Amino acid sequence: MAFTSKIQQNLALFLLLLIEISQVMSRKLHKISLREEHENWMAEYGKLYKDAAEKETLIICGFAFYCHHVVHGGSSIVGFVSWRVSMFPITNIYCVSYLAAVGTRFSSIVILVSPTITCRHPMLLITNTLYMTNAPTEIANEIFKENVEFIESFNAAGNKPYKLGVNLFADLTLEEFKDFRFGLKKTHEFSITPFKYENVTDIPEAIDWREKGAVTPIKDQGQCGSCWAFSTVAATEGIHQITTGNLVSLSEQELVSCDTKGEDQGCEGGYMEDGFEFIIKNGGITTEANYPYKGVNGTCNTTIAASTVAQIKGKLWHQPVSVSIDANNGHSMFYAGGIYMGECGIDLDHGVTAVGYGTTNETDYWIVKNSWGTGWGEKGFIRMQPGITAKHGLCGIAMDSSYPTT
């Protein structure tokens, strides 16, 4: 009996040793995979560090953050995967002073992974956009927590044909989001001209100007209220390609810096119609390569030559069209995919570009190009239900459609 007991004890110790060896190997492999993950993240977002020491510190912090297992409110919570938005699995924040994965509003990030380990990151660039503020980190933690809970609650309900998701705006309040990402002025008197197929019978069932090569890649307006300029330029790029056969990325910065003599005021907002008028009066608009986007008002560079003004002969079934929408809601803020039919008003505050339309499962939608980077929505685009039964359309999309004319 004693001999059998001894064998059982030795066997148990042997099994424990195997488990420990396995865990050590697993941790080593996991560390390697996290290092590769960090390298991939650096390449994806164009992240540069001051020196090798800063990079190594951040990698170590990322490992500690990911592997740390905390207990909060009596429940066990697994820490976030550092640096990657898409892999966030939990809804609560405990061991973090701030989340270094979705863009930050702070001049510094402090990640506390244990009472003795503190990681500091001077600035984090996400999609080439820097968010900084001096707000207390405790407030940001609460904002992020509330946003994640809102997103998960909506998705769990499962009663809409679209989903919300954690993105680079997850640390912002709705008001901050509005200040950073909108820019359509509200002093303009909008006339309701329904964005429908009125008096037109011979049109295709669906059209996607992306597939026809008339839509440039998604851009990012950053912390500048220049959505109106991006919408104006996207529509102009579209008709220029349709007319000439050449897709050329045009300059939003020229509008931001130079179209300031009327109601358009750069990062302080403007109108697409006025943007088109500026292009016509200016004799054209230059390329993005000649006048790259800076995300600030700047001083107009009058020495840059303008390109040919694009012409237009129709609406959306002929070309991309600038439209205005009411985007001041959490559903727009965290839209992640599907056909959007969320609750929204008609208080127009954001300029975008309709680049097509289609039908999925008997549900019609517009294909809309946004200017919030590829990390938002469906790689920067949103499919919106037209709201064809209402004269103003869903989110007011039918109230203010415009395009360049000659």
Residues catalogued as catalytic = 227, 350, 370
Copy the structure tokens of residue 272.
Answer: 């697409």
Distance CA 253, CA 248 (A): 15
In angstroms, the Cα distances linking 187 to 20, 271, 324 are 67, 10, 14
What string of H, E and C letters represents the secondary structure of 277-315?
HHHHHHCCCCECCCCCCCCCCCCCCCCCCCCCCCCCCCC
Q: Residues near 162 by Cβ (< 8 Å), separated by ≥ 6?
A: 335, 336, 337, 338, 339, 340, 341, 342, 383
Phi, psi of 263 (to 5 degrees): -85, -15
Distance CA 397, CA 350 (A): 10
Strand runs (DSSP E) across 190-309, as ranges? 207-208
Q: Decide: 56 and 136 in contact? Cβ < 8 Å.
A: no
In angstroms, the Cα distances linking 327 to 183, 384, 395 are 11, 12, 7
Pair type for strands 207-208 and 117-121: unpaired
Q: Decide: 275 and 261 in contact? Cβ < 8 Å.
A: no
Phi, psi of 308 (to 5 degrees): -65, 140
H helix runs in 46-136, sequence order: 52-67
Cα of first residue to Cα of last residue in the chain, in angstroms, is 100
Question: What is the helix (H) or strand (E) element at residue 114, kind and residue range?
Answer: strand 109-114
Distance CA 375, CA 126 (A): 9
| Amino acid at position 78, single letter | V
